[in-house]
Amino acid sequence: MKYSALKGVHDIYPPDIFDWQKVESLAKNVFSVYGFQELRAPIIESTDVFIRSIGETTDIVEKEMYTFTDKGGRRITLRPEGTAPVVRCYVENHLYKLPAPQKFFYYGPMFRHERPQAGRFRQFHQIGAEAFGVDEPKIDAEIFSMLRIFFQRLGLKGLKFEVNSIGCEKCRPDHRSALLNFFSGRIDGLCPDCKRRYHHNPLRILDCKVPACISLREGAPHVTDFLCGECREHFDTFLSCIKMLDIPYVINPNMVRGLDYYTRTTFEVTCEHLGAQNAVAAGGRYDRLVKDFGGPPTPAIGFAIGMERVTSLMKASGTGSIPAPPVFIAAIGKRAEEEGLVIADRLRQKGVWVELGYSVNSLKSQMRRADRLSAGHVIIIGEDEIRSGRIKWKRLSDSAQGEMTFIEAEEFFGENG
């Protein structure tokens, strides 16, 4: 019987895993400079957590959730995104009682039953960040700058930073009426889902992927033309802050995020090299969600980065790197192998990465392996070296070579490995 991974999910193993580790440690590094701390929420939640937050009429809730009934008859969903679980955790554990802002980041797998294609998977991974308790647009700019610095330090080029504001409950009714008006003569051409959305949530028509709906929505009214005074001021201040920080951005008034919880600022980082699935990170404000989950009114903002898309950009631009052992010990003969094992162990105790050759293989093939691993130095031990008490060493980058005693080798490579 042969087994294979399910459609739309992937194994991640060397050398690809090195890019993943690089992204994860860089994110931790950059996010901690902004005061974000790690939060680990479960992968499964009550289905209601997602319906309530993402919204009943969104694609994710309507079509894409992995939902099942457990043995206790509970409706459970594999998380399709990370914000709702973090908000559930924040409210359940009364984290709002701590001084604001509370700032968290998380990594992990998310699950959406979408049609797999380039850059779109059923199990994918996000690194997300969420900040609670600050209303001022200054924090929107800080979050945006954190994303910019993350991508800059990763060395990725050709990214576009798109921003929009989708207003609040006060601005929405007028925009909704304008949308209803706009689509009223076009209902017959809309897909069955959008026909329903027309009545329940016409904003979602702007997010539909069906080609007929995409062409019918051309010229639809922008929410930015309906912003109330406070939302307008919030957006303008956010824009002036990111200008001050020299972050190149474009306003995309057509950006409607695929989740219902957003209010005011929304943003996406896109890259044209990614094809149809071009968003490498996305996020925005969700000022009502904590209250909707039973907490006190608490403004919040965050984003998530798509790991598969970031690592594919790294691969294409050659910004990834494969770690190499500083020391490789090639041994020929039983005694030499034993000595090599002891030296390797002592160096490893000092924290040096050492790879061992095995004398079933010729010296030539051990050297080939050291070369393939891009080892820094090779230590060579054979019968002659055992007799003389001096090892031979070779630096692979420039073929420099020499000899030293076993003790000297332990000291030298322990410090320089």
Instruction: Return residues touching ligand HAM (CB under 6 A).
Output: 81-83, 112, 114, 119-121, 124, 126, 128, 130, 258, 279-284, 302-304, 306, 308-309
Nearer to ligand HAM, 116 or 414 (CB): 116
Q: Order of strands across the sheet with 390-395?
A: 354-356, 327-331, 377-381, 390-395, 401-405
CB of 308 to ligand HAM, least distance (A): 5
Nearer to ligand HAM, 156 or 304 (CB): 304
Nearer to ligand HAM, 283 or 357 (CB): 283
CB of 262 to ligand HAM, least distance (A): 7
Residue closest to ligand HAM when measured from CB atoms: 306
Cα 86 vs. chain centroid, distance in angstroms? 16
CB of 82 to ligand HAM, least distance (A): 6
Is the distance from CB of 169 to CB of 261 less than 8 angstroms? no
Which of 414, 404, 416 shows the shortest CA–CA distance to 343?
A: 414
Nearer to ligand HAM, 121 or 328 (CB): 121
Which of 395, 329, 389 shows the shortest CA–CA distance to 363?
A: 329
With tokens 């902004």, the residue in question is 34
Nearer to ligand HAM, 287 or 339 (CB): 287
Nearer to ligand HAM, 81 or 410 (CB): 81
CB of 254 to ligand HAM, least distance (A): 15
CB of 307 to ligand HAM, least distance (A): 8
| DSSP states of 186-208 | TGGGS-HHHHHHHHH-GGGGGG-
Q: What is the dihedral of CA 210, 212, 214, 218, to 10 degrees?
A: -170
Which of 336, 280, 7, 284 shows the shortest CA–CA distance to 143?
A: 284
CB of 183 to ligand HAM, least distance (A): 24
Six token digits for residue 360: 């079933």
